[in-house]
Amino acid sequence: MNLTNCLKMISNLFRAILRPFPLIGGLADCSRKDHASAIKDFFLTITFSTLTFWVTVVIMSVLALYSTATTSDMILKTVSNGELLTFSVSFAGPILLAAMQDRNGKSPFPGAIWHVYALWAFAIIAAVIFGLLKLQVVANLNIGLNMDRVRNWSYFVFGLALVLRYTAIVYQKMLGAADALMPKQDKEFSDEWAAHAKKKGQES
Q: Residue 136: CB partners within 8 Å, gap ≥ 6? A: 142, 143, 145
pTM for the model stands at: 0.75
pLDDT (0 to 100) of residue 126: 86
Q: Residue 72: CB partners within 8 Å, gap ≥ 6? A: none
DSSP secondary structure string, 29-80?
G--HHHHHHHHHHHHHHHHHHTHHHHHHHHHHHTSGGGTT--HHHHHHHHTT
Walk along the chain (204 residues) and give the pLDDT tens digit of each residue: 677 777 778 777 888 888 888 888 888 888 889 999 999 999 999 999 888 888 988 898 888 888 888 888 888 888 877 888 888 888 888 888 888 877 676 777 888 888 888 888 888 888 888 888 888 777 677 777 788 888 888 888 888 889 889 999 998 888 888 777 554 444 443 444 344 344 544 555
For the chain, the maximum distance between any two Cα atoms, rounded to a whole number of angstroms, is 93
pLDDT for 40-80, tens place per residue? 999 999 999 888 888 988 898 888 888 888 888 888 888 87
CB atoms under 10 Å from CB of 164, counted, come to: 23
pLDDT (0 to 100) of residue 189: 39
Alpha helices in the chain (DSSP H): 3-18, 32-49, 51-61, 71-78, 83-100, 112-137, 147-203
Distance CA 118, CA 161 (A): 9
pLDDT (0 to 100) of residue 202: 52
pLDDT (0 to 100) of residue 196: 38
pLDDT (0 to 100) of residue 38: 92
Residue 80's closest CA among 27, 28, 20, 152? 152
pLDDT (0 to 100) of residue 204: 52
pLDDT (0 to 100) of residue 46: 92
